[in-house]
Amino acid sequence: MGRKFAILILSLFAAGTLSAQQLFFDGELSTHFDNTEYTGSGLGDSRTIFAVRVAPTLGYRFEGNHSVVLGADLLKDFGSSSFIDATKLIAYYQYTDNRWGANAGIFQRDKLVGSYSRAFFSDAYLIYNPLIQGVTGRYTGKNSFAEIAVDWEGLYATDTREKFRVLLAGGGEFADICYAGAAFSMLHFANQSTFQGNVVDNLLLNPYIGVRFNAFFDFDIRLGALVSAQRDRRTDSGWDIPAGGELYLRFSRWGAYIENNLYVGAGLTPYYNTVGKEGLPYADNLYACDPFYGTQHKLYNRTGIGYSRSFAGDRVAVKAEMVLQCDGQKLYCQQLVGISAKICPVLYDKRNHKK
C-alpha cells in the first residue's frame, strides 16, 4: 500500500500537462501543557501532560481543487528518555472548493468543521489523538455547515480491538445573532481476534441553540442537550440512555475570557469501570470525553478563566487557562497552556515557477 501511494505521488509530480500545479510545505510546531489535580474525585488522575508536537507535511496541489499530502506527526513528552515518543503517518487526498470539501486517508483533526464539546473529546484526548484515520466530507455555506466523518480508531488484531467512530455535525445562523445545530458520535467498540461476543455501542447526540452578540464584551450563550445511548452486547441487558442538559456561557474581550459550562443530568460513562473479555476496564478506550461528564452527583460545572489570541497573521497562537471543575460535591483544578506556530510557504508554482 505504501509503495502504491509513493508511485501515485511521483506520477502526479511528473504530470506536466496538469494546470495550476503547486508544491507547498505545511509545518506546525506546538507545545501543550495540561495539568490536572483530580485526586479524590474518582473521575480522573492527577497528572501533567507536557509535550511538544511537530507536524511537517509536503503537499502537491493540482487542477486548483485537488491535493495530495504526505508527512508525519511527531510527539515528544518532556522528561521522556525516548527521542520521539510517538510517530504517526500523515497521508491523504483532499478536495476543496468554495463550498464542498473532502479528505481521505490520515489527516489532521482540524479539517473537521463541526462543533464537538468536551462531552465528545477531552483536552487530553485531543493532544494524543490529533489525526483522523478515514474519510470526511463537508459543506460550508455562508450561514451553514454540515459534515460526516468516519474515523477508524482500532485494528482487529490479537492485542487491539476493532474500533471505529462515525461523526455527524451540522448547523446554521439565523436572525443575525442566533444559531442552532447538532453534533453526533457513534462509536463501535468491537472484538479482538482472540475473543468474540464483547461488542459495545456508544452513541451521543448534542442538539443546541444559542446566541452570539457584542455588548462591550463578545458574548456566546448556548443551551443544549446531551443524550447518550449505550449497550454492552455481552450482558444483553439492553440500552442505557443517560441524558442531561448543558448551558454554556462565554464572554471575552482583547483575548481574555471567562467561560462556564454547566451540565445537569446523569453520568455519561456508565460502563467506564466495566471489565471486558481481555481483562481490562473499558475506561478511556470506550470514552473520549472529559471524565467529569461521568459524575454520579447529577451535576458538573467547569469554569475557565484564560487568554487566547493569535499573532503574526494568525501563524502564532497562544492560549492559557485556569480551570475549576466541580463534580457536584468538590472543586478540582486544571491548568492549560498551548503555544503553536505554523508556516505554509509555496515552494513551487507552475505559473510562477520557483517561489
The vertex-232 CA angle with 227 and 233, nearest 5°, equals 125
As a whole number, mean pLDDT of residues 256-284 equals: 96
Q: Is 196 helix (H, G, I), strand (E, B) or coil?
A: coil
- pLDDT of the residue at 17: 44
CA gap 320, 339 in Å, rounded: 9
Cα-to-chain-centroid distance, residue 58: 22
Confidence of residue 189 (pLDDT cuts 50, 70, 90): very high
CA gap 51, 60 in Å, rounded: 30
Confidence of residue 299 (pLDDT cuts 50, 70, 90): very high
- pLDDT of the residue at 41: 86
Phi, psi of 21 (to 5 degrees): -75, 145
Q: Give residue-wise pLDDT tens across range 3-46.
A: 554 555 555 455 444 457 899 999 999 999 999 999 888 888 89
- pLDDT of the residue at 14: 52
- pLDDT of the residue at 3: 59
CA gap 108, 89 in Å, rounded: 10
Give the chain's domains with CATH numbers: 2-354 (2.40.160)
- Amino acid, res. 304: G
- pLDDT of the residue at 7: 53
CA gap 259, 317 in Å, rounded: 19
The vertex-201 CA angle with 197 and 203, nearest 5°, equals 175
Among 3-12, 34-43, 188-197, 316-325, the least confident range: 3-12
Strand partners, 323: 304, 334
Q: What is the model's pTM?
A: 0.90
As a whole number, mean pLDDT of residues 202-207 equals: 98
- pLDDT of the residue at 40: 85
Virtual torsion, Cα 300, 221, 205, 334, nearest 10 deg = -40
CA gap 108, 112 in Å, rounded: 8
Q: Give residue-wise pLDDT tens across range 162-187.
A: 999 999 999 999 999 999 999 999 99
Among 40-49, 72-81, 121-130, 137-146, the least confident range: 40-49
Confidence of residue 349 (pLDDT cuts 50, 70, 90): confident
Q: Give residue-wise pLDDT tens across range 101-128.
A: 999 999 999 999 999 999 999 999 999 9
The DSSP code for 126 is H
CA gap 182, 210 in Å, rounded: 11
Instruction: Report, in angstroms and rounded to the nearest whole number, the Rg of the chain calculated over CA atoms.
Output: 22
226 pLDDT above the threshold of 90: yes
> Residues, the chain, total?
355
Q: Is 82 helix (H, G, I), strand (E, B) or coil?
A: coil
Average pLDDT, the chain: 92
Phi, psi of 12 (to 5 degrees): -70, -40
Tell me which of 95 and 350 has the higher pLDDT.
95
Confidence of residue 307 (pLDDT cuts 50, 70, 90): very high
Per DSSP, the residues of 85-147 read SEEEEEEEEEEE-SSEEEEEEEEEGGG--S---TTT--HHHHHH--EEEEEEEEEE-SSEEEE
- pLDDT of the residue at 16: 43
C-alpha cell at 217: 464584551
CA gap 80, 76 in Å, rounded: 8
Q: Kindly report the number of other CB atoms within 10 A of residue 221's CB atom.
A: 15
